């Protein structure tokens, strides 16, 4: 079936209208901003503590909220049995997934930028910050899509997704206190993003020494796309 931008646009408009009606999703989106506001006044300048807390709030949005929202949006359609209706009306699975992913992507980007300004980070770093965080958002949306496919309803996304997403959220947080956790963190996209952002916010250049970090992030995007395609073909989004 031919991919239609018009149908994706219609799905995106539907998601925007439905967003205010889904309290679970709305609350999830507000959590990182809520904690960013609380913690932003505790640390000044570009101190190591401030950057650590900043990365913590960013990690909450990317590592938890972004993926969970994507999973919940897909699981909601499965729970309501509305996906089959959309397909009968001519909407392909790829168009459906894209429509869901776009609203998650846009909201995650808005929250990322909001966190940046709440912490009053130097505006000169905004471009690099958006680039690095966006790459990791792509990978987490893919992970969220996989969780949504294998979950039967919104409640099940917590059971299925929490152990997975806690790995992405908690391990980078405690990576520096344990060598084993550091080794695990080094293969996670958001931890490598944190390493590069620490350099960016200190005014340092991200040189060839961070080729590994960039490669890890790009690899996760490819891996999540492949895993989503595999999971979809094996399980199906409407089963």
**pLDDT at residue 182 greater than cutoff 80:** yes
Q: What is the pLDDT of residue 2?
A: 61
Q: What is the pLDDT of residue 45?
A: 60
Per-residue pLDDT band for 134 (boundaries 50, 70, 90) equals very high
Per-residue pLDDT band for 154 (boundaries 50, 70, 90) equals confident
Do residues 76 and 149 touch, judged by C-beta distance below 8 A?
no
DSSP notation for 1-61 = ----HHHHHHHHHHHHHHHTT-HHHHHHHHHHHHHHHHHHTT--TT-HHHHHHHHHHHHII
Average pLDDT, the chain: 84
Q: What is the pLDDT of residue 130?
A: 95
Q: Note the pLDDT tens digit of each residue in 70-109.
A: 888 888 877 877 766 766 676 666 777 788 888 899 999 9
**pLDDT at residue 113 greater than cutoff 80:** yes
Q: What is the pLDDT of residue 29?
A: 84
- What percentage of the chain reaches a pLDDT higher than 70? 90
Determine if residue 151 is left, alpha or beta; phi over 0 gives left, psi from -120 to 50 gives alpha, anything else beta.
Answer: beta
Per-residue pLDDT band for 151 (boundaries 50, 70, 90) equals confident
33-37, 74-78, 85-89, 162-166: the lowest-pLDDT one: 85-89
The pTM of the whole model exceeds 0.95: no
Sequence-distant (6+) residues with CB within 8 A of 49 are: 43
């Amino acid at each position: 079936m031919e991919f239609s931008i018009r149908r994706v646009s219609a799905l995106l408009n539907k998601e925007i209208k439905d967003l205010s009606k889904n309290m679970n999703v709305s609350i999830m989106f507000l959590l990182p901003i809520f904690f960013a506001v609380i913690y932003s006044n505790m640390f000044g300048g570009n101190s190591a503590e401030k950057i650590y807390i900043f990365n913590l709030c960013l990690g909450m949005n990317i590592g938890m909220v972004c993926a969970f929202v994507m999973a919940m949006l897909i699981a909601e359609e499965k729970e309501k049995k509305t996906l089959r209706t959309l397909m009968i009306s001519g909407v392909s699975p790829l168009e459906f997934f894209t429509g869901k992913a776009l609203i998650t992507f846009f909201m995650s980007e808005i929250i990322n930028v909001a966190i940046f300004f709440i912490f009053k980070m130097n505006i000169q770093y905004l471009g690099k910050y958006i680039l690095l965080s966006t790459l990791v958002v792509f990978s987490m949306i893919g992970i969220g899509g996989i969780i949504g496919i294998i979950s039967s309803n919104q409640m099940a996304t917590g059971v299925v997704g929490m152990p997975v997403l806690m790995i992405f959220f908690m391990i980078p947080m405690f990576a520096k206190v344990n060598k084993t956790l550091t080794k695990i963190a080094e293969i996670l996209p958001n931890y490598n993003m944190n390493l590069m952002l620490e350099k960016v916010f200190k005014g340092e250049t991200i040189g060839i020494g961070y080729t590994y970090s960039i490669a890890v992030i790009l690899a996760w995007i490819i891996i999540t796309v492949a895993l989503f395609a595999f999971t979809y073909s094996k399980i199906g989004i409407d089963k």
